[in-house]
């Protein structure tokens, strides 16, 4: 391929990164993920390792600068950080994220094979997915806007129950690199690339026809309650009684005929559960008399520890405690660097404890319900603990922290991917939106939009069964990518 002037290559790299987030929610232009990665891969073909590092960094700057811009709103609008400090912290966070695409490009340029387009394509896809796996683990992990999420509504999304979102990331990057081989490789290389692309397309079609779970029991009618209480008023002690009455009235709105389960969002009860037990006892008694289960988010205290939790109101009073706390909401990432800023940010970052112990689904209406809170549904590997017992999944969240940005839409997109990975219906209820219900294929059954007060009744069919991804997690993708990297590096050494 021709060598472009540095300024043109740099411009193309940063523009490709800026365009890539359009492949995620809310636009869902999934093809852009393949085209932008193909552009980056083309730019580094003739680059030295140092040049590839620079181009990968520019790509990441656009990618994460747009993709996670909502961190600023979290810090400034709801964390009370002054605008310059919020902007600085967001920039630092974005710069940390740029390390991953930059390092991927540098490693590829360092270990690529001469005149071996197909193996180089495999090498780049392997390095990329390993960098994403590292990003999902390092410093408690930040697996947001992984390339694979771009395909939630795309054809490669059918691979979700087979290989999960990381496996889809591998396939997206592989298709992008193979497409470049088709455009710029030799006839022999083009034939190999076309064969590979055709094989992926065939498997995707077959995967789309398969069902890895089966109906289990009778359908449930689930009511989602989105009260749309403004974040600045949510934790006001003076507003506590108002919030409780609002949720109670919305729960009973239009009657409860045929409703089996009501779900309130994360911290719908913005205090300790035991503090409002007596005040809510008439409401709880009325729900029990009607045979309706209610799940609500709130806080549970145990000694000196305070947990973000979900509790069954009435019945067995079953409780789930949040295990994975959210960065910039419940703790400060990179705190060893940014501890100086904590005094200027009014977000409770160290008050909450993480839940521990074996996961036990909550039994409601004879159905085993796997519960997660907020950011936890971003971690597919961890949500495997919900299976095989859970027959449906419920996620409660408070995405008000992120304002009317792309984050609530991106969060819903990740929930859809979890539904596809585990072949389970999933209900997610948030304070200010977006609340939605989806079937085991990730199709939206109903939605309450952002900044809207309302209820939604949906019929959910519980399911049982284990997908290949639920059985194996990310290990097959990790092992395959590692073997490919080591094998190609060994081949390079033999050639040398």
* Among 266, 330, 381, 421, the one annotated catalytic: 266
Q: How many CB atoms lie within 10 A of CB 495?
A: 9
d(CA 178, CA 38): 8
Lookup: tokens for 347: 């977000």
Which residues are paired to 435 by β-bridges?
Answer: 448
Q: Which residues contact 458 (CB under 8 A, 6 or more apart)?
A: 221, 222, 224, 427, 437, 445, 446
Q: How many CB atoms lie within 10 A of CB 363?
A: 15
* Among 105, 132, 234, 322, the one annotated catalytic: 322
Residue 421 designated active-site: no
Phi-psi category of residue 141: left, alpha or beta, with phi > 0 → left and psi -120 to 50 → alpha: left
Query: What are φ and ψ of residue 389, in 5° steps?
Result: -65, -40
Lookup: tokens for 11: 């411009």
Taking Cα atoms as reference points, which of 433, 416, 329, 404 lies closest to residue 70?
404
Q: Which residues contact 31 (CB under 8 A, 6 or more apart)?
A: 23, 154
d(CA 104, CA 124): 8
d(CA 461, CA 99): 43
CB–CB of 492/454 below 8 Å? Answer: no
d(CA 165, CA 147): 8
Give me the count of residues in the chain: 496
Residue 132 designated active-site: no
DSSP structural state of residue 355: P
* Among 132, 374, 376, 485, the one annotated catalytic: 374
CB–CB of 63/20 below 8 Å? Answer: yes
Taking Cα atoms as reference points, which of 148, 151, 149, 158 lies closest to residue 212?
158
CB–CB of 56/44 below 8 Å? Answer: yes
Residue 266 designated active-site: yes
Q: Which residues contact 350 (CB under 8 A, 6 or more apart)?
A: 331
CB–CB of 310/320 below 8 Å? Answer: yes
Q: Which residues are catalytic?
A: 266, 322, 374
């Amino acid at each position: 391929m021709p060598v472009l002037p540095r300024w043109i290559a740099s411009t193309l790299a940063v523009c490709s990164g800026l365009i890539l987030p359009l492949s995620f929610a809310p636009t869902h232009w999934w093809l852009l993920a393949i085209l932008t990665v193909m552009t980056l891969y083309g730019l580094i073909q003739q680059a030295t390792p140092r040049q590839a590092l620079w181009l990968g960094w520019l790509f990441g700057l656009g990618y994460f600068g747009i993709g996670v811009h909502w961190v600023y709103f979290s810090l400034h609008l709801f964390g009370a950080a002054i605008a310059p400090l919020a902007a600085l912290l967001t920039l630092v966070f974005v710069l940390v994220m740029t390390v991953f695409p930059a390092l991927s490009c540098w490693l590829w340029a360092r270990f690529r094979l001469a005149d071996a387009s197909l193996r180089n394509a495999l090498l780049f896809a392997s390095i990329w997915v390993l960098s994403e796996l590292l990003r999902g683990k390092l410093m408690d992990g930040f697996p947001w806007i992984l390339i694979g999420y771009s395909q939630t509504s795309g054809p490669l999304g059918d691979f979700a129950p087979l290989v999960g979102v990381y496996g889809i990331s591998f396939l997206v990057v592989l298709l992008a690199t193979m497409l470049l081989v088709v455009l710029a490789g030799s006839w022999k290389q083009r034939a190999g690339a076309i064969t590979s692309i055709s094989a992926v397309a065939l498997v995707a079609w077959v995967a789309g026809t398969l069902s890895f779970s089966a109906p289990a029991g009778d359908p449930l009618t689930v009511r989602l309650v989105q009260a749309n209480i403004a974040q600045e008023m949510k934790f006001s002690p003076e507003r506590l009684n108002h919030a409780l009455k609002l949720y109670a009235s919305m729960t009973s709105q239009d009657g409860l005929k045929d409703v089996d389960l009501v779900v309130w969002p994360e911290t719908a009860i913005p205090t300790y559960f035991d503090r409002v037990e007596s005040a809510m006892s008439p409401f709880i008694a009325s729900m029990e008399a009607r045979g309706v289960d209610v799940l609500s988010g709130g806080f549970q205290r145990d000694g000196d520890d305070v947990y973000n939790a979900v509790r069954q109101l009435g019945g067995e009073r079953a409780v789930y405690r949040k295990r994975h706390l959210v960065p910039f909401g419940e703790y400060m990432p990179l705190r060893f660097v940014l501890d100086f800023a904590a005094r200027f940010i009014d977000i409770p970052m160290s008050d909450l404890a993480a839940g521990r112990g074996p996961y036990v689904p909550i039994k409601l209406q004879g159905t085993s319900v796997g519960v997660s809170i907020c950011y936890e549904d971003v971690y597919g590997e961890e949500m495997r603990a919900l299976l095989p017992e859970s027959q449906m999944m419920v996620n409660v969240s408070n995405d008000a922290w992120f304002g009317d940005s792309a984050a609530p839409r991106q969060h819903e997109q990740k929930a859809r991917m979890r539904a596809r990975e585990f072949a389970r219906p999933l209900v997610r209820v948030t304070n200010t939106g977006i609340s939605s219900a989806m079937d085991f294929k990730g199709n939206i059954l109903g939605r309450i939009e952002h900044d809207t007060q309302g209820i939604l009744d949906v019929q959910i069919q519980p399911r049982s069964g284990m997908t290949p991804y639920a059985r194996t997690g990310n290990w097959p993708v990790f092992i395959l990518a590692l073997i490919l990297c080591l094998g190609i590096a060994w081949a390079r050494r033999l050639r040398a």
